[in-house]
Amino acid sequence: MKPIKVGLLGIGTVGSGTFNVLKRNQEEITRRAGRSIQITMVADLNTTRAKELTNGECEVVNDANLVVNNPEIDIVIELIGGYGIAKELVLKAIANGKHVVTANKALLATHGNEIFKAAQEKGVMVAFEAAVAGGIPIIKALREGLTANRIEWAAGIINGTTNFILSEMREKGLDFDVVLKEAQRLGYAEADPTFDIEGIDAAHKATIMSAIAFGIPVQFDKAYVEGITKLQATDIRYAEQLGYRIKLLGITRRTPHGIELRVHPTLIPAKRLIANVEGAMNAVLVQGDAVGATLYYGKGAGSEPTASAVIADLVDITRLATADPEHRVPHLAFQPNAMTDTPILPISEVTTSYYLRMQVADQPGVLADVTRILADSTISIDAMLQKEPAEGETETDIIMLTHQTQEKNVEAAIAKIEALPTVVGQVTKIRLEQLS
């Protein structure tokens, strides 16, 4: 059987890893796929570097259009990134009847509906395992492995940069700004780390997981996104004393009123396995009604871990290339005509628990005032920590953990607490999830 011919758009970190792993494991991959998979064409603006990386084993061009328009190419791997030229090239490849493999979570989270519709109409596949959590096969698990389940929720540490920063803040007691500089020095954070530290990267991935878990369109614009830039070492230390760790989580949950889709720093009980995922590692916890909780852990980025997912997609497409399009696994797990328009809930309607820290005057009646405001807002207290003021100090910290309540109730209570003359500055609020 003739080989599947692949065109690679972009031979950077992941592209070079894909080329090398495919070459190194060619025999094993061929045995699994049933036919040889060969990268025969590479497009990259730096053709000199591309030729060095491919060692003259395939054609190298500086115009990606030459790849997507080449009738000899069966599958196009898009590793350019971003929303602009990448979207144009993916849609052009689909229009030309080519299958597509992409690691571009930003593209799919914002334009996935359009891309999947075009692919369905053309009878080709778009595979994107590498777009979420690098080498961890979470897309395949949600789309196929857990297909018997009604997924209740998924929560994941899906950005290695922020997890590294939070791990360092906890272990060394350092503030965010200090650890960010160290993460940049070590190569864990980009020179411009905005997408990572502001939660945008994690929200792209959570959006894709939510669509697959619940059979809804991708709706990145409806996600609530909050990064880690305002987190203080003080709160990480207090959380530890109360038996919790703080992680940046991407969370999506089914509720009777709609779907929660949110990314934010979250307190998790330290005894949970996911709370102990440290450094730049990723982990996703999925709750299904039949299977219960399943945990997926591994490297969420890097050359060869991400290449592992890219090549798995190549093998899947190779196996199914001759199958009737109606019998392939749908892009978002559910048949296109069975997708629902279940609404994404605004953050004000989300129900969860909370960590509240407030700096107050060290005088009688303060605690009574605070607890009365919380009670009036139907918020009950689960645990509390009150620090003794240092010698000579007239102010102290009160830390409270609440039971579950709606976000809008907490916001209303915080506004009243901050208005008290005995409360100094703003109340720190961090959401808390038991994940049980």
Catalytic residue numbers read 205
392 sits in the region (left: phi over 0; alpha: psi -120 to 50; else beta) called left
Cα–Cα separations (whole angstroms), residue 129 to 67, 134, 307: 22, 8, 10
Asked whether the beta carbons of 11 and 42 are under 8 A apart, the reply is yes
Distances (CA, A) of 30 to 33, 42, 242, 312, 388: 5, 21, 52, 12, 67
221 three-state secondary structure: helix
**Per this entry, what is the length of the chain?**
436
Within 10 Å of residue 20's Cβ, how many Cβ atoms?
15
User: 3-state DSSP call for residue 354?
Assistant: strand
In three-state secondary structure terms, 265 is: strand
Laid out side by side, the sheet with 126-127 consists of 59-61, 37-43, 4-9, 75-78, 99-102, 126-127
> Rounded CA gap, 163 and 397, in Å?
27
Q: Where would I find the H helices in 123-199?
A: 138-140, 160-172, 176-186, 194-197
